[in-house]
């Protein structure tokens, strides 16, 4: 095996096409290195990384504090199983509880697993509420939602392209249009519904925020009918919107929260937080995962929060976003045939497109900007939380340059 980078890019392409499952339409570059908001491919070409591993690299690439904490922990203790305590997991719950309030955490390794834990919590709540196992199992989700690729996650994701080929899925799920409170009011039953589950800002669906007033009304309905309000902050949480959690804009108090993506800054970790009294529903033996909250993963997440706090990144995102959004809106005005509208909050932006986003994303990449398509209708810009104003503006310049020669079919 050669480590020469130009050689390895051709070699990687060959190995990918020969041996990797075909579930991803991987783009034709091999990334070998990252620093801050930039990544480099095997030919040495630099890109501004506004994909951030899909809202994962929250403090950019190779942040020195994160690298140091991970290497120190790797030398000390990588994994011991949840049969024993480890120090980073203890420190992590202390650190996260500042943002969530009183309650309990359960760790896992991905977003889908965090949502699985929420769905299991819903089942336990429904059992307690109705007094019968299997009676109160309803979960209401939003149309266009995305909650992951496991069977629970797919069942909670009412999208043909996600569910197709994998039915039968779990029963008990129904969906209602986001922000249409009358539809949710109708869909939520005091006897049959255990929980509602929704993203504060839909990510994969194309960046559609839940309206704060809608969330407040939804919380009221849930409280009246003893239905859990489960909030999926996997993509929009951990500072991305200019609040630590995006639901904070609405003032609601979720009964449980799912987080993952940005939490580990690139190291796989997921978690749920549960409010009292629901944090008592999981008892010994009722749930678990071998790797969840492992020492190394917890140390990585702890370093992400340490960086977010010491560099004041949540406030920085909030402060830098209005001017950036303004520039993006100017771009939308300049190219009305291509861009429909700008959606989202903070560093979770959806450029709603009037044209197919895929070729535009490819052209942006060629021009040195990585971005993420969403649902065939939007281009997501998800810079790391420590992206500078100069980098935010550079992304707009690249976008402008690419669109200035774009031929609308
Ligand atoms: C990415 C995502 C998931 C699934 O997370 P994985 O880590 O890919 O399993 C679930 N919900 C939302 C809102 C997401 O953005």
For residue 69, the CA-to-ligand 1 centroid distance in Å is 25
3-63+312-404 folds as 3.90.1150
The topology (CATH level 3) of 65-310 is 3.40.640
CA-nearest residue for atom 5, ligand 1, is: 111
pLDDT digit string (tens) for 166-196?
999 999 999 999 999 999 999 999 999 999 9
For atom 8 of ligand 1, which residue has the closest CA?
111
| Close Cβ partners of 268 (under 8 Å, ≥ 6 residues apart) | 109, 110, 297
Portions of the chain given CATH number 3.40.640.10: 65-310
Per DSSP bridges, beta strands 372-374 and 369-370 are unpaired
Q: How far is the CA of 147 from the centre of ligand 1 (A)?
A: 6
Which atom of ligand 1 lies nearest, measured to the CA of 204?
Answer: 15
- Distance set, CA 156 to CA 126, 135, 139, 201, 260 (Å): 17, 18, 8, 16, 17
Which atom of ligand 1 is least distant from the CA of 233?
Answer: 13
Q: From residue 33, give the alpha-carbon distance in Å to each of 47, 364, 406.
A: 10, 19, 30
Note the pLDDT tens digit of each residue in 51-66. Answer: 999 999 999 999 999 9
Counting from 1 in the atom list of ligand 1, the atom nearest the Cα of 111 is: 5
Predicted confidence band at 44 (pLDDT cuts at 50, 70, 90)? very high
Per residue in 200-211, pLDDT tens?
Answer: 999 999 999 999
- Is residue 146 in contact with ligand 1, taking CB distance under 6 Å? yes
94 Rama class: left (phi>0) / alpha (psi -120 to 50) / beta? alpha
Kindly give the distance from the C-alpha atom of residue 76 to the centroid of ligand 1, in angstroms, as a whole number: 30
Q: Are strands 38-41 and 228-232 parallel, antiparallel or unpaired?
A: unpaired
Position 409 confidence tier, pLDDT thresholds 50, 70, 90 = confident
Residues 272-314: pLDDT tens digits?
999 999 999 999 999 999 999 999 999 999 999 999 999 999 9
How high is the mean pLDDT of the chain? 96
| Distance in Å, CA 348 to ligand 1 centroid | 15
Q: Where in the chain is the domain with CATH 3.90.1150.10?
A: 3-63+312-404
Per-residue confidence (pLDDT) for residue 7, from 0 to 100: 52
Cα(183)–Cα(157) distance, rounded to whole angstroms?
Answer: 17
- How far is Cα 126 from Cα 92, in angstroms, rounded to an integer? 30
Cα 248 to middle of ligand 1, angstroms:
20
The label of the residue with tokens 């021009």 reads: 367
What CA–CA distances, in Å, run from 87 to 17, 25, 73, 76, 141? 42, 40, 10, 11, 36
CA gap 112, 76 in Å, rounded: 29
Please tell me the distance from the alpha carbon of residue 127 to that of residue 179, in angstroms, as a whole number: 28
**pTM (2 decimals)?**
0.97
User: What are the two backbone dihedrals, phi and then psi, of residue 301, each rounded to the nearest 5 degrees?
Assistant: -65, -40
CA distance 212 to 390: 31
Q: What is the pLDDT of residues 135-155, one digit of tens each?
A: 999 999 999 999 999 999 999
Q: Return the DSSP state at 344.
A: E
144 close to ligand 1 (CB < 6 Angstrom): no
The kind and range of the H/E element at 307 are helix 295-310
């Amino acid at each position: 095996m050669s480590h020469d980078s130009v050689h390895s890019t051709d070699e990687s392409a060959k190995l990918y096409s020969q041996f990797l499952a075909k579930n991803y339409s991987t783009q034709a570059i091999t990334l070998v290195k990252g620093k801050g908001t930039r990544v480099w491919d095997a030919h040495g070409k630099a890109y501004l990384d506004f994909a951030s591993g899909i809202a994962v690299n929250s403090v950019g690439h190779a942040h020195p504090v994160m690298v140091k904490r991970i290497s120190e922990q790797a030398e000390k203790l990588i994994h011991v199983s949840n049969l024993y305590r480890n120090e980073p997991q203890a420190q992590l719950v202390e650190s996260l509880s500042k943002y969530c309030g009183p309650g309990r955490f359960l760790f896992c390794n991905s977003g889908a697993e965090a949502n699985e834990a929420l769905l299991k919590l819903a089942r336990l709540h429904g059992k307690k509420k109705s007094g019968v196992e299997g009676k109160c199992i309803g979960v209401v989700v939003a149309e266009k939602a995305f909650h992951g690729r496991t069977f629970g996650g797919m069942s909670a994701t009412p999208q043909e392209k996600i569910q197709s080929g994998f039915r039968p899925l779990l029963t008990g799920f129904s969906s209602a249009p986001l922000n249409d409170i009358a539809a949710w009011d109708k869909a939520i039953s005091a006897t049959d519904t255990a929980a509602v589950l929704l993203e504060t800002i839909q990510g994969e669906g194309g960046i559609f925020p839940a309206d704060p007033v809608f969330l407040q009304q939804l919380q009221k309905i849930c409280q009246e009918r003893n239905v859990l309000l489960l909030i999926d902050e996997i993509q929009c949480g951990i500072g991305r919107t200019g609040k630590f959690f995006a639901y904070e804009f609405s003032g609601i108090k979720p009964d449980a929260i799912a987080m993952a993506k940005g939490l580990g800054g690139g190291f796989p970790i997921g978690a749920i937080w549960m409010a009292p009294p629901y944090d008592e529903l999981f008892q010994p033996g009722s749930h678990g995962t071998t790797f969840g909250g492992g020492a190394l993963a917890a140390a990585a997440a702890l370093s992400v929060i340490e960086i977010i706090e010491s560099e004041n990144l949540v406030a920085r995102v909030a402060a830098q976003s209005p001017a950036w959004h303004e520039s993006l809106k100017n771009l939308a005005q300049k190219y009305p045939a291509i861009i429909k509208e700008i959606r989202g909050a903070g560093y979770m932006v959806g450029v709603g497109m009037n044209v197919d986003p895929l070729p535009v994303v490819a052209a942006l990449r060629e021009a040195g900007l990585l971005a993420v398509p969403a649902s065939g209708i939007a281009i997501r810009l998800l810079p790391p939380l420590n992206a500078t104003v100069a980098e935010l503006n550079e992304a707009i310049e690249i976008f402008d340059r690419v669109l200035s020669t774009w031929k609308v079919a």
